[in-house]
Amino acid sequence: MSRNSDWDNAFSAETLTGKIEHAPSYAGALSFLRRKYSRDLTGVDIAVTGVPLDIATSNRPGARFGPRAIRMASSSLTWCRPWPWVIDPLEQLKIVDYGDCQFDYGAQQTITPCVEKHIDGILDAGAASLVMGGDHFVTYPVLRSYAKHHGPLSLVHFDAHSDSWPDDSMRVDHGSMFYHAVKENLVDDRRSVQIGLRTTNDEPLEFNILDARWVHEHGPAAVAARVKEVVGENKVYLSFDIDCLDPAFAPGTGTPVCGGLSSFQALEIIRGIAGINLVGMDVVEVAPAYDTGDITAYAAASLAAELLCLFAARQTNSS
């Protein structure tokens, strides 16, 4: 590939794999990890897609700009395989940037079916999705689609918040969608793990909770071991709310909570759970207006890139 086309790989790519070694991180056409920007899912393993929605947030809005910020930050991660993995998702997986889900922000009742249909299109084509939020509500329609295709899932959920607060009126809220996901049997809470929680919910359903104190006291290796024990061979959907990280590592988010994980701890947990049966994933709640030096966007892009490693690791094991 010539250096010229390298810069605009989002448009000029002739293959769906390969590192981008010559494009400067500060220039060229933006797509997630400079993958081809395409709605053609023929032969695709992973469709990366943004859901730029933030009308369900309870505090600071702005996560609708998350997908753009993550795409920007990801441009510096395309020249080598993610450290310290020995597998390279850019070589091993056919990944496209599928663009953003289109919906009408003013017609709230249409949003869930619209996002669900968007993900249906990806899963029907035989690909998996990596969703970039958007506030955390976006995970609810995504899970509806996944459960249709895969049955009830184990959820591995990184967050400062349980997002399972009771709600029986189907509000569009980023704090109750996992309550609905359990009640609708999209997720099996007893075979699911929540990591990094540090807010009060006195009715946490039956999730296995490794709260922020547990993570700090036991460390990433113990967290990873516990996650693997709980999910076993179940199909796993992994949802990463960037506010699982401490505001020192991720200030650019809607509902920051002090006392959270470092980016290293979170990345180490993801490395430690390699081998789980991952079928889908998201990184949500990046709100770049509150970010400093793009550190939240870089954390989100790095986590997303390593989630691709996690997905590729399972494929390597099972192939």
Q: Contact residues for Mn ion (CB under 5 A)?
A: 159-161, 241, 243
Sign of the dihedral defined by the CA atoms of residues 170, 171, 172, 178, in that order: negative
Strands 208-210 and 193-195, how do they pair?
parallel
Q: What are phi and psi of 5, to 5 degrees?
A: -70, -25
- Cβ distance to Mn ion smaller for residue 9 or 253: 253
To Mn ion, the closest distance from the beta carbon of 243 in angstroms equals 4
* Nearer Cβ to Mn ion (121/256): 256
Q: Is the Cβ of residue 29 or residue 55 nearer to Mn ion in the bound state?
A: 55
Q: C-beta of 113: minimal distance to Mn ion in Å?
A: 24
Query: Closer CB to Mn ion, residue 181 or residue 274?
Result: 181
Q: Which is nearer to Mn ion, 112 or 253 (CB)?
A: 253
Question: 82 vs 175, which CB is nearer to Mn ion?
Answer: 175
- If you ran DSSP here, which 8-state letter would residue 176 be given? S
Least CB distance to Mn ion at residue 291 (A): 16
CB of 174 to Mn ion, least distance (A): 7
> Which CB, 38 or 164, lies closer to Mn ion?
164
Three-state helix/strand/coil letters over 41-83: CCCCCEEEEEECCCCCCCCCCCHHHHHHHHHHHHCCCCCCCCC
Q: Are 252 and 291 in contact (CB under 8 A)?
A: yes
As measured in angstroms, the least distance from the Cβ of 185 to Mn ion is 23
Write the CA distances from 245 to 101, 137, 258, integer angstroms: 26, 18, 9
Q: How far is CA 229 from CA 35, 75, 156, 188, 222, in A?
A: 34, 35, 12, 15, 11
For residues 242 and 315, give the distance between their C-alpha atoms in angstroms, rounded to a whole number.
26
Write down the least CB distance from residue 160 to Mn ion, Å: 5
The DSSP bridge partners found for residue 100 are 50
Under DSSP, the state recorded for 185 is T
Shortest reach from residue 40's CB to Mn ion, in Å: 34
